Structure 1
């Protein structure tokens, strides 16, 4: 089993005929993801990479039964693309686009409220269920099927932790990159809820950082429920200068008042096993499962 995507996922790619869309569609297809269509206004009725291209998501869903979308549309139009996918009732929408304006994301958040769509991103590395489905830019070379769920705010740390887990025979059920922007879709709590309900996920790894409130919300959630599965947490940025942007908008501490150490303390108090650094995640997971 897995969360959100699996071998039954039928993917369409918005902006597929562009440079990024072409590249990431090809990668997904090579991995084995079931890509069924592309969307590009004005290009409907054509084909690209052997797939039919439609004017909009509604047409694509009607003809192909697509239930997931990858948004590769440039930032000025990315919000419109996400909203189009939401209005087409697509179940999972992954947006890898960076620098989507925050006022545009307000419109996306409003659209999500009255829908059943799960949004991953924007500025996300995507989602990966090893051996079944890859949507986005998630690395696959080190991924292995298994029983560890991973939810992360950091793309680079995701790669490192995923590789070290696989090397230690700790395969993954699903890995989710929640996105590096302040305003985004699914967060740690949404991932935790789904991993809790997934019988095949035996433990969860949360990879957090300074800025934002994802770690605080996760701690509040875990403290309020009998989660039933071990959760390992890693919060990086302990030595980052206060108030300085570190990589992306989500790490800017003005958008979250707590330091990395304070977030770590909250998670520990909520029952999370804390890894000292990325190299300590495997030991922490194994200690929980032994």
Structure 2
């Protein structure tokens, strides 16, 4: 099993004809993803050739869904057009929208998230500013390299793209059910808690790695959720132990304000919930290795 993305998922790519959309569509296809179409209003009716695989281009998400049965969209459009692309996906009623784009204005993210809730929250949004979601051996929606790890029994949820890749590599001998990169912007669709709940419910996920970072209180809230709801072993890592207060580190949401949002405070909260927290990604991987061994 996997969460949210499986071998049966039918994927479209919004922005498939752009340089990033084209490049990563080719990589997703190579990973075994069932990409059934893409969208570009100006190039509707065309057909793209990806090493012998023909992918049709549609004018809208709704049209692509009607013609192909797509239930997942991966969004590779510039920041200025991302809000419109997500709202179009929500209006079409697609089940999962993976928003890769970096640099989306926070008020745009707030607007399309509120719009989704007003429409009943039927579309799961992952991102923005994220590497996407990968269920190794089944499907890959985003930019997570497929060669890092194969299928296995670990669930991974992470704010950081590069740390997602490192953790998958370090634990590749155990493998993963699904890895979810939720992104590090101040406002994101899917949270640590959403992924933790899904991994808890997934019978094939035996243990969970959670990667957070400084700023905000998402990790503290996740710790409360774990304490109350998660029975599977969880190990964690918090990026930013050496970050100076008041400086944004990497992600827009990764900033310490006063005494809140520090890596140490998050570590304490997680450990109080029974989560083993490593001081480095490699130490965190070793903690998981000890649990599974």
Q: Same fold (TM over 0.5)?
A: yes
Equivalences for 1:175-186 in 2 at 5 Å?
175-186=179-190
Equivalents in 2 of 1:277, 1:143: separation in Å?
A: 20
Equivalents in 2 of 1:109, 1:253: separation in Å?
A: 24
Q: Equivalent residue for 1:17?
A: 17
Question: Offset at 1:105?
Answer: 1.0
Q: 2:222 aligns with which of 214, 218, 234?
A: 218
Equivalences for 1:116-131 in 2 at 5 Å?
116-131=122-137
Equivalents in 2 of 1:83, 1:257: separation in Å?
A: 33
Q: 1:74 aligns with which of 63, 78, 91?
A: 78
Q: 2:160 aligns with which of 154, 157, 173?
A: 154
Equivalents in 1 of 2:94, 2:216: separation in Å?
A: 27
Give SS of 2:41's match: coil
TM-score (normalised: structure 1): 0.96
Q: Equivalent residue for 2:290?
A: 287
TM-score (normalised: structure 2): 0.95
Equivalents in 2 of 1:255, 1:76: separation in Å?
A: 32
Equivalent residue pairs, number: 287
Q: Equivalent residue for 2:32?
A: 32
Equivalences for 1:1-290 in 2 at 5 Å?
1-49=1-49, 50-113=54-117, 114-166=120-172, 169-225=173-229, 227-254=230-257, 257-290=260-293
Equivalents in 1 of 2:92, 2:197: separation in Å?
A: 25
CA RMSD of aligned residues (A): 1.4
Conserved in 2, the CA contact under 8 Å of 1:203 and 1:229? yes
The runs of 4+ residues in structure 1 deviating greater than 6 Å are none
Q: Which runs of 5+ in 2 are unaligned?
A: none
Q: Which runs of 5+ in 1 are unaligned?
A: none
Give SS of 2:98's match: strand
